[in-house]
Amino acid sequence: MPTSEPLIVLEGVNKYFGPLHVLQDVSLSVDRGEVVVVIGPSGSGKSTLCRAINRLEPINSGTITFDGQALPAEGKALAKLRSEVGMVFQSFNLFAHKTILQNVMLGPVKVRGEKVAVVRERAMSLLDRVGIASQADKFPAQLSGGQQQRVAIARALAMQPKALLFDEPTSALDPEMVGEVLDVMTALAREGMTMVVVTHEMGFARHAANRVVFMADGQLVESAPPVEFFENPKSERARDFLSKIL
Ligand code: ADP
Ligand code: MG
């Protein structure tokens, strides 16, 4: 497969929660190595979009393809997709009774059946990369929120995903810890990881994104490089949103 083909493609995606039309004819394609930041008001469908991409949320119509394949509905193919699309949430979701190292090793060993020694080495090098190697034998509660979120990123990377989805990864953090998490994400972006990032951190959007996507009321309203979007937003809704947060 030519690497020029986009990694993630959504075409005409619709999603309802009962009568609520939360994704309205959403089309979006994400190139390999591209970093797309998704912004928009609360309730506009950003989390649902992320969840649809790794099929935590089924869609009602339209198509989503990942790496050239339609999203599988179930079974082994779905498990494989999930392991190829890492997800980092606002709440870190680490296992409280497992050590940091065990948390990072769990997926590759249990889900994918990889050799423990191989996974341990990879996990330690990932913990080193996010600056947590010295805490490997501690438990999540012994770490700060920023450290726990960096562990969550290492855990996602341990599965060697083709893309990472971040849903407001810094929203639950104390302000002084936001920077250390964004630094790790910025480094990943520079290294060429394909990323979809829902965030209110406009500094990150400006410096690390290739493209900013603005959502409102379930619609993808604008999609533009950050400079263009921030300097010259085209829609009234985007201008209104930016005036409130900047
Ligand atoms: P955002 O992440 O942009 O804040 P969401 O994708 O979480 O928005 O939600 C979009 C809309 O869908 C909101 O109106 C929300 O209340 C609704 N919604 C989200 N999840 C569910 C659900 N599981 N059941 C019913 N409604 C939901
Ligand atoms: Mg959300």
Q: CATH number, domain at 190?
A: 3.40.50.300
Is 195 part of a structural domain of the chain?
yes
CA 164 – CA 146 distance, rounded (Å)? 18
pLDDT in tens, 148-203: 999 999 999 999 999 999 999 999 999 999 999 999 999 999 999 999 999 999 99
Band of residue 232 on the pLDDT scale cut at 50, 70, 90: very high
Is 22 part of a structural domain of the chain?
yes
- 22 CB within 6 A, ligand 1: yes
H-only helix segments in 130-225? 145-158, 175-190, 202-208
- 51 CB within 6 A, ligand 1: no
Determine phi and psi for 244, rounding to 5 degrees.
Answer: -85, -30
CA 204 – CA 145 distance, rounded (Å)? 19
Is 123 part of a structural domain of the chain?
yes
Residues in the chain: 246
Report the DSSP pairing between strands 61-66 and 8-17: antiparallel
Burial of 13 from C-beta contacts in 10 A (0-12 / 13-18 / 19+): buried
Q: The complex's ipTM?
A: 0.98
Is 1 part of a structural domain of the chain?
no
Is 15 part of a structural domain of the chain?
yes
DSSP class of residue 210? S
Domain count of the chain? 1
- Distance (Å) from CA 78 to ligand 1 centroid: 23
List the domain range (segments joined by +) for residue 83: 8-244
Angle at CA of residue 106, ends 102 and 107, nearest 5°: 150
- Distance (Å) from CA 171 to ligand 2 centroid: 10
- 26 CB within 6 A, ligand 1: no
Atom 7 (ligand 1): residue with closest C-alpha?
47
Is 210 part of a structural domain of the chain?
yes
pLDDT in tens, 66-104: 999 888 878 888 888 888 999 999 998 999 999 999 999
Other CB atoms closer than 10 Å to residue 146's CB: what's the count?
23
Is 3 part of a structural domain of the chain?
no
Percent of the chain with pLDDT over 70: 99
Please state the pTM of the whole predicted model: 0.95
Question: What's the token pair of residue 63?
Answer: 């198509």
- Distance (Å) from CA 224 to ligand 2 centroid: 21
